[in-house]
Amino acid sequence: MHVIYITGLGDSRPVWQFRVVMKTWQLYGVKPYFFKVDWANGTLIEKLERLDRLITDLSSKDHRKVGLIGISAGASLALHTFVSHPDNVTGIVTICGKILRPESIHEMVKSQNPAFAESMAFMPDTLQKLTPELKSRLLCVYPLIDMVVATQDQHVPGARKRRVFSFGHGFSIALQLTFGARKNIRLLKQHI
């Protein structure tokens, strides 16, 4: 199975994330891929097309399913892709993902990351396309307290969710990429 990690905002230099994903996730029996979104540059369509090509290449190369793990802003890109490729994507895990209430995003964040603003504008349509079957292949992981993305914005109604005992946005993401990785990857493998 292939697992694609999708970055969040501020991904200009995601060195520690790259190292964790590429060096440790393969220990859980998957082939990890790092998808740096580069939210501050380019359009949402360009990012979706690039991710689409990666999924198509991976699934056609060896006919293995692909799982997606999207963190923070990357959760929105993962969800858009999931509804577009339900046959090639086995499932997704969102970690501290901004999913609901696009109107709550600060104007400065939108202006500095136009592709993210665009992605969140499409979220209501994407959420409507999530069937009960697709929701069964989706896990939203969120912490007790997150000062960056409100916890009530981090899960899709009707999808599986898991609240983890951590505090803070970056810290919770780091914990899930390391200590929570086995559990998150195991969930993706259930749908192969």
Q: Calculate ∠ Cα 87-135-127, nearest 5°.
A: 95
Domain count of the fold of the chain: 1
For residue 23, is pLDDT > 90? no
**Stretch among 54-68, 74-88, 163-177 having the lowest mean pLDDT:** 54-68
State mean pLDDT over 91-99: 96
Short-list 30, 33, 71, 50, CA closest to 188: 30
pLDDT for 14: 67
State which residues form the domain around 25.
2-189
pLDDT for 62: 81
Short-list 181, 142, 178, CA closest to 159: 142
Whether the Cβ atoms of residue 140 and residue 125 lie closer than 8 Å to each other: no
Mean of the per-residue pLDDT values of the chain? 92
The model's pTM: 0.94
pLDDT for 192: 56
State mean pLDDT over 172-179: 93
State mean pLDDT over 102-131: 94
Q: Is 31 left (phi over 0), alpha (psi -120 to 50) or beta?
A: beta
Q: What is the CATH number for 90? A: 3.40.50.1820
